[in-house]
Amino acid sequence: MDLGLTGKVAVVAGSSRGLGRAVAEALAGEGMNLALCARDKVVLEQTAREIETRHKTNVLAESLDVTDFEAGAKFVHQAHQKFGRLDVLVTNAGGPPGGTFDDFDLDDWQRAVDLNFMSGVNLIQAGVPFMRQAGWGRIINLTSVSVKRPLAGLILSNAVRSAVIGLAKSLANELAADKITVNNICPGYTRTARVEQLAEKVAADKGASPAEVIAGWESTIPVGRLGEPSEIGALAAFLASEQAGFITGQSIVIDGGFYRGIA
């Protein structure tokens, strides 16, 4: 299926590794030019050049922290300036630290809000005028299955990511007339380096092996395995496509059946 993305431009935040990188790879595979960002310049540059070589596409790479709102907005403008258009915006960042309510003070809460909510608001605010001008756009927020099923020990993530869902639902209505869709991807356990590190940490705490910890997680997932980042990438590519123009305001869980609710 031709997704109608060839020659279009995507800004993908938090994209040097993990899910963001997988989304970038999938969009590049559809012939899109990309603007990528992350904090670590060396890893980001390496990712950008690998994607350019593999997919024969153009990649702008800017090392920045998405909680630096000025830098984030400048990055979106740079992407538009370089490529002359901005069609798809994928908001993403690392997750906030794990812990329970007693572990965090107000500064921790503010940092989580900035990292997993305001960073997206900022990028969207910068990108929407270009999409409106073009009369077409796709906004995709990478969040978590925790918006459907809060996860134990991740109170910051559970609380803050729900704000993204409220934002997207409202924004989807406000931007529909401009042919801009807004959707959320809500992954369950997906095999990224971050998740493997988490398994190592939990294993050390429990006196188990990382493989045992991962097997424990897999036993809670009906399909019996972790997700692959490329599966998140494929969903993002479809949501970005011409064909997905009738899907907006949705939070799509991609978790192998981990979330057991019916809505």
Ligand X SMILES: NC(=O)c1ccc[n+]([C@@H]2O[C@H](COP(=O)([O-])OP(=O)(O)OC[C@H]3O[C@@H](n4cnc5c(N)ncnc54)[C@H](OP(=O)(O)O)[C@@H]3O)[C@@H](O)[C@H]2O)c1
Name the strand (E) or helix (H) holding 25: helix 18-29
20 near ligand X, judged by CB under 6 A: yes
User: Measuring CA to CA, which residue among 243, 222, 139, 124 is closest to residue 185?
Assistant: 139
19 near ligand X, judged by CB under 6 A: yes
92 near ligand X, judged by CB under 6 A: yes
In the block, tokens 């030019």 appear at 33
Residues 6+ apart with CB under 8 A from 56: none
In the chain, beta strands by DSSP E: 9-12, 33-38, 59-63, 88-91, 137-142, 180-187, 251-254
What Rg do the C-alpha atoms of the chain give, in angstroms?
Answer: 18
Residues 173-212 vs ligand X: string with x where CB under 6 A? Answer: --------------x-xx-xxxx-----------------
75 near ligand X, judged by CB under 6 A: no
Q: Which stretch binds ligand X (CB under 6 A): 33-41, 81-89, 104-112, 199-207?
A: 33-41
End-to-end CA distance of the chain: 29
Q: Which stretch binds ligand X (CB under 6 A): 35-43, 99-107, 121-129, 215-223?
A: 35-43
Question: Whose Cβ is closer to ligand X: residue 140's or residue 195's?
Answer: 195
216 near ligand X, judged by CB under 6 A: no
Q: 140 and 239 in contact (C-beta within 8 Å)?
A: yes
Smallest gap from Cβ 103 to ligand X, in A, equals: 17
Question: Whose Cβ is closer to ligand X: residue 131's or residue 254's?
Answer: 254
Of the candidates 17, 55, 80, 138, which one interacts with ligand X according to CB under 6 A? Answer: 17
Residue facing ligand X at closest CB distance: 18
223 near ligand X, judged by CB under 6 A: no
Of the candidates 10, 11, 18, 148, which one interacts with ligand X according to CB under 6 A? Answer: 18
**Exposure b/e, 189-216, CB count within 10 A at least 16 = b:** bbbbeebeebbeebbeeeeeebeebbee
CA dist., res. 15 & res. 45, Å (int)? 11
Q: 23 and 90 in contact (C-beta within 8 Å)?
A: yes
144 near ligand X, judged by CB under 6 A: yes
CA dist., res. 198 & res. 177, Å (int)? 42
120 near ligand X, judged by CB under 6 A: no
74 near ligand X, judged by CB under 6 A: no
Residues 42-71 vs ligand X: string with x where CB under 6 A? Answer: -x---------------------xxx----
Binding site for ligand X (CB under 6 A): 14-20, 37-40, 43, 65-67, 92-95, 115, 142, 144, 187, 189-190, 192-195
